[in-house]
Structures are given as structure tokens and as C-alpha cells.
A and B are shown apart, each in its own frame.
Chain A
Amino acid sequence: MRIRAAKIRELLLGALLTVSLGGAIHALGQEAASADPGSTNASREQSSPGGTSPGENARRSSDHGGAEGQPKPSETSAALDYLYNRKPQDGSAGSEAAMVGRTIGGKAMAQDAIGIARLEDPELRGRFLRYLGMPEVSQEELAAYFEQMKKVSGYLRENKLVEAWKELHTLADYQIIDAGISRELANRVEAIWNMDRASVSLAQRNRDLQRQVKTTNWNADKLSERIRAEELAYQRQLNQGSRQRGQPSNLPSGGAPMVPDANPAGGGGASAVNPAGLEGKLQLTEQYLRSLELKAKIKVNELRREQLLDQAKKDFSDYVGTLYNSGRLNHVVLAGDFYRKVFEEGEYPAQMQQQVNASLEINRDVSATIEVFRYKLAENELVGAMDSLQQAFLTSELHPAVLGLERPLKRRIAEFNRQLDQMRNLIEARDFGNLEALLTEIRKTVLDFDTTKPMAIVNAVKLESKMRLGKAKLYAQQGNPEKSMEEFQAAAQAWPGNPDLEDKALTFFNAQDMQSQALTEFDRLAKEQNYREIFEKQLAFAPALRDDAKRQELMKGALEAIRDAEMAAEKANLMMINGDFFGAWETIELAAAKLPDDKKLNRLRADLSGRSAEFVSAVNKARDAEGRNELGYSLTWYVNAQRQYPASRFANEGIERLSKKLLDPEL
């Protein structure tokens, strides 16, 4: 049973962790999708070059930001509910999972509160922030660069490929704008040319081979003629000989091309082999095979040339795709022009065609986005401006409009970004006091920033913290320190900067300390039977003893004893006023029997003993004698005490008690 219980516990814990981590991953995924448009850059590189454009990726990433998903309900929800509703012990896996969950929850809450799609990928974010801090590229430099680019395009249109290629090196000198991409493009073009040289070399070899084929063919023809002549001569000789012998001759068949039979009528007869003719046939065969071999080589070379060309085209297309994916849109267009000229093709491949068109389109989009950015910034709509700038940057950070954006404009975005970071940190740290001030400041300067959501979150968390504090106070008042402490912790976790938290916590801890001290003091006083002190401090002790039945019983006994003593003192005072000192003494004496160490009673008793000395002496002597079992003597003193104070309870009870004993010794 124990093993089974442990296993069930393990399974439940595993399920909890799975769901917690699943939820966390889901949340992170959402967070990344909503706030990390740059992450699509990586996927863009992995996707096919023509599959998606940077602009589409950016739009898709922003679309993802608004998407929300809910984790599917688990079958173990009941078990998880059980686990979630019970606080895991400190240091346990559950506690760790809860802490991780809280951290992730804090981040998700911050992201939700800010509500602005921002770059979350550290690399992209770093690049964007670096861009915001960089000085703008001067307009003159940009104009010169793009003038140079137009010049390259012009050369290409005029089929001046080499000049255009040279100008690429000039473009590469604009290091900030170009980053050496033009030189790399020039290298690619040069690589194609180098490939072309290899192709020319192959063609030269093919020409040589062709010549060799011709020579071989000629040699074969000559050999064939000579063999034919020799065959004819030999046949002739054979014919003459057979006629002489009257026997037919058989022609040899060696596998070499045969000379047509000069005497078909004489076929079927065996002919003699001509050794010289046989040698000639072998040479002819060799020439024939040589010719075939050379032709095969020519074919192979032709195939290699075609392969080289195809590979060069493919490599160049891939390079154009890389340029497109990295946002070098102007270079995509330029490289497309080079492709057509270098490979002497009228059209681009279909994929390159798409990339070139998309680049032209994106260039237009980026220009428009930057215009929108400028407008929104001028209207103090920094949220929209930042969104536009991020989109333009992610789409084509090397676009002249992006590069040429003035630094003061970027600085405003950087400052707003810093405020958003601060806001996020404040929410994650749950410093809602400073967050309110920051929100107020942002609201003044940023017209399109909606503070409704962060303020709602702030107010909700504050309310939760206050309510938990209230609960903690209630629990503390009910004498439930464990629950109270849990609520305090929850209130502190919800809003650590809650100004009431410190006061309430101090009050709570002081109360706890006072309660502890009160309990210690109560125990000491109860042990000493100092009920008077307990009575005087009953208000301090009462809260501490709220749930302690044993101490409450002690307290009740102490209070009843003091109440009786007080009543006795009051009664004695009244008797004293009436001159009944014996009765007063007796009343105090009876009360003092229950509280022998009570100072107030003892003081009264001492006072009354002096005033009732004779009676007190009689009673005391009677008691002493009774204590010594001198019953007759004791009885006489009780009788004497009764004579002095007939209503004496001591005397009457003593007389009755001793009389019974004396009359019935067996009792």
C-alpha cells in the first residue's frame, strides 16, 4: 500500500510538472510569437528562398502576437486541483515548480500588461538597440551610393559587363551601407567567369578530340582500302588456283569487316586465309575503337560543360536567395541583372523572378513604413512609431530610408523602449508603487499608449494583496498564526512593495512575539499560583490563550479565585463598616484559604487579625488543637470563639465537626 501511494504521488507530481512546464512552454511560445518578429528571420533562412518574403514574415510575426491559445484541459485536472490547492513544502519539487511558475507568470503578466509587440530575441533586440544608438548615414553618402548602384545597372543595360563588375568594387567601398556585399557579388560573377574558362578549356579539348577522331577515321579508311585491295588480289589468286584444281575455296571470317565477295558464285566453298589481310583487319578494328573512345570523351566533356553551367546558375540563384533573405534587396535586383547578362538569358529563373519582384515591393513598403514612422513620431504616437520602425528595420535594415533615419528621432524611440523595459521590470518585480508613477509619465508623453491594461493589472494585484493582508489579520485575530503567515506571504508575493505590508507584518510579528511572551508569563504565574497577577493582566493573556483549552481552564480558575477574593474583600469591607470585624476576618480567612499568597487578602487579613485578636486567637487555638487531634481542647476553644461571635462559620462548623467526632469516635 505504501509503495502504491508513493507511486501515485510520484505520478501526480510528474503530471503537475508536465502541465506546469507545458503551460510555461506554451506561454513562452506565445510570448516569443507575439513579441519576437525577428525570430522569423531564422526560420526564413531555413525555409526555401522563394517561399516567404521578409515582409510576409514580419506581418506574420505581428499577427502571431495577437493570437492567444488556451492549454487543453488535462484528464488529471482533479489530481492537479488537489495538488495546486495544497501548498508544496519548501525545497520540494512542487515548490520549485511553483516558483518557476510564478516567475513565468510574472513575465507573462508583464508582457500582457505592456501589450506592445517588441523584439524579444536577444540578438535581434541587440541589433535594433544598436541601430537606435547609431548615427544616421548621411544623405550625401546614401545618394552617392545609390548613384553608383544606378551606374552599375546602367552598365548592365548597355551590356558592359566588365565595367559593371568593376563598379561593384567601388560600391563595396561604402562600408557602412554596403558592408562588402557588392564585392562578394563581384566575386560571384568572377567565379562564373572562371567556370566559363573551364568550360572553354573543355571545348578546346573536345576540338582536339574531334581532330583525333577524324585522323582515326582516315586511318581506318586507308587501312580498309588496302585490305580490300589485298583481299581482292588474294581472291584472285585463289580463284585461279581453284580453277586449276577444280575445288571451291572458303573465305576466312575473322570478325573484321569483310570485303564483299568478289565472286559470289563461288560462295560456300572453303577459302585460304591471307595472313597479311588479317593483320590489316586488326589495325582497322583498333582505329575503329579509338574513334569510338574519342567520341565518348567528347560527349563526357560536353556533359561536364553543361553541368558546370547548371551548377554556376544554381549557385548564383542560391546567392541571390541569400541576399534576399538577409534583406539586401537592392543587391537582389542588381544580382538578378548580372545573372541575365552573365548567363546571357533573357529572363530570370522563376524563383529569382519572385525574389526580385518582392525586393522591389518591399523597398517600396519600407519607404512607406518609414514615412508612417515619421508621421507618428511627429504626432507623439510612439507606440505606433516604434512598431513601424521595428517592422522597417526587420524587413530591410539596410534600406536607405532606414539607414538615413536621423539619430534624434531614433533616440526618442530608444527612450520609449527604455521606459517599456523599466515598466516590464517593475511589473515583474511587482513594484506597483513606482509603476504607477511611470505609467503617469508615459501617458503624458506617449499619446497612443493605452494604460488601461497595466493599470487594471496594477489595481487587481493591489486589491489582491490588500485582501490577503486582511485575511492574514483575520487569521491572526483568530489565533491561527500558520494561516495568517501563509496569507502574509501571499500578500507579499502579490505586491512586495505594499506599504501596508511592513506595518501589518510588524504588528503581526509583534503580536506574535507578545503572544509568545504572554504565554511564557502566564505559565510562570500559573505555576506560582499568582492569580492576582493573572487577573490584572487578563486582557493581555486572553488573545494568547484563544485556542489553548488547557491554559484557558487555568485562566478561568485563576479569574474565579480572584473574583471570589474580590467579593470576599468587598464583603469584609462592608462588615468592617458595620463594625463586624470578626465576620470580616472570617470572610477574608475563608477567601485566603483558596488564595494563600494573595497580597491583597493577606494585607486585609493582617489588618483584621489585629482588630479581632481574641476571636482570631480562639479560632487559631482551636484549629491548632484540632490539628494535634486534641479534640476536647479544640472544642472548648471553638465554643469560646462561638461565644465571641455566635455567627462564626469556623466555630460552628468546628463545633459540629468535633462534636460528631467525640460522640462517635469511629467516624
Chain B
Amino acid sequence: MLSSNKNQGEDEVVLSPFSDAGGPSSRKKRKSKRPMWIALAVVLILILGIGGLFFYRVLNDPLRTLEPFPVGKYLDGYKPLAGARFRAELRVENDLGWKDGVGRLMTFSLREDPRPVAVMVPPQLSGIYFTKGQSYVAELEVKEGGLIYANSCRKN
């Protein structure tokens, strides 16, 4: 449409009814530049705040120093991983069952590897309500028999 209008304009000039809409901009140009600076400052403050918060959180994250859970290595053989702790971003796949005092047995898939793993969520974390598809960050520990325990878990 615009191109057709453009072609037609070469023969005769057609003016839009909103052709005089550029009036206010000419009026803004006349306003002061202070609010702009205020906005910039706010943004900057926000950025700094957020960045600071981010760094604060990063620096205060207990899983920060843990290695990501190597699903491939685990599936090849759990014994080298036995006793080690890992960090993992988990996505809820299935709930296999719960027993009071024992915990909840779940299957999660990791972000790095879609192959699911069975994880025992201990009773102290049983307050978490897992629903399929939710993501969690957890500290995982491979225990005897290759069973993975989630020592800690928080919603991602």
C-alpha cells in the first residue's frame, strides 16, 4: 500500500490527514532535558541494584562451587561419583513415591542431559511440592547403590 501510494505521489501529492501530527515533537523539543537525566539515573540505579543483588546472590550461593552433575558419567558407572556432591538444575519428570521419614523418590531430567535420573528427596525437603515441568536447583550426592540424594533443593 505504501509503495503504491508512493508511486501515485510522484504524479500528484496526497496529504495524510495526520500530516500535521509532528506538532508535539516540535513542542517536546522545547521542554527541559532534566527528566531524561532522572530517568537515566534511575535506570542506572536499578542496574546497579540488580547487579549488586546478582553478585550478592552469586557470592552467597552455596552451590556455586559445586560441579554440575555429570549424567553421562553417572550412567556409565556410578561408583566413581559415589560420595561426591554436585549441583544440578533439575526438571521434574515424575513422582515415584513418598514415604514418611524416608523421603520422596522423584525422577528428574537435567538441563545438560535429557536422560532422566532417579533422585531421593529427603524428608527435610518434603515440603516442596513438585509438579512436572518445574525446574529446581539442587545439590546432589551419589550414595551407596548409586542412589542420588538431593541434599538441598530450591526452585530455580
Contact = CB atoms under 8 A, between A and B. Distances in A.
Interface of A: 625, 629-637, 639-640, 643, 655, 659-660, 662-665
Main secondary structure of the interface of A (DSSP, over half): helix
Contacts of A640: 75, 115-116
A664 B98 CA distance: 10
B102 A636 contact: no
Contacts of A665: 102
A425 B90 CA distance: 108
A664 B99 contact: yes
Given A632-B78, A663-B98, A664-B99, A639 B107 contact: yes
Contacts of A664: 99, 102
Contacts of B93: 639
B96 A632 contact: no
A226 to B, nearest CB: 180
Interface in B87-112: 93-94, 96-99, 102-103, 105, 107
A403 B53 CA distance: 162
A636 B116 contact: yes
A636 B74 contact: yes
Interface residues of B, number: 23
A629 B78 CA distance: 13
Given A636-B117, A639-B94, 13 more contacts: A632-B143, A633-B145, A633-B147, A634-B146, A636-B75, A636-B148, A637-B75, A640-B116, A643-B116, A659-B97, A662-B105, A662-B120, A663-B102
Interface string B96-138: 1111001101010000000111101000000000000000000
B117 to A, nearest CB: 5
Contacts of B120: 632, 662
A635 B118 contact: yes
Among B96, B98, B103, B116, the one with the most A-chain Cβ atoms within 10 Å of its Cβ is B96
B105 A643 contact: no
A663 B147 CA distance: 12
Contacts of B117: 636, 639
Given A659-B96, A660-B97, A662-B147, A633 B102 contact: no
Contact of A632 (B98, B99, B116, B147): B147
Contacts of B99: 663-664
B145 A631 contact: yes
Which 5 interchain pairs have the tightest Cβ spacing? A632-B147, A633-B146, A663-B99, A632-B146, A635-B118
B46 to A, nearest CB: 43
B97 A632 contact: no
B77 to A, nearest CB: 8
A639 B95 CA distance: 11
Nearest to A621: B75
A632 B118 contact: yes
Among A631, A643, A662, the one with the most B-chain Cβ atoms within 10 Å of its Cβ is A662
7 contacts: A632-B120, A636-B146, A643-B116, A659-B96, A663-B97, A663-B98, A665-B102
Interface string B64-92: 00000000001100100000000000000
Contacts of A629: 145
B71 to A, nearest CB: 9
Contacts of B147: 631-633, 635, 662
Contacts of B107: 639
A655 B96 CA distance: 8
Interface in B138-156: 143, 145-148
Among A632, A662, A664, the one with the most B-chain Cβ atoms within 10 Å of its Cβ is A632
Contacts of A636: 74-75, 116-118, 146, 148
A660 B120 CA distance: 12
A635 B116 CA distance: 10
Nearest to B149: A632
A21 to B, nearest CB: 93
A454 B117 CA distance: 99
A648 to B, nearest CB: 14
Nearest to B99: A663
Nearest to A662: B105
Contacts of A662: 102, 105, 120, 147
A655 B148 CA distance: 15
Contacts of B75: 636-637, 640
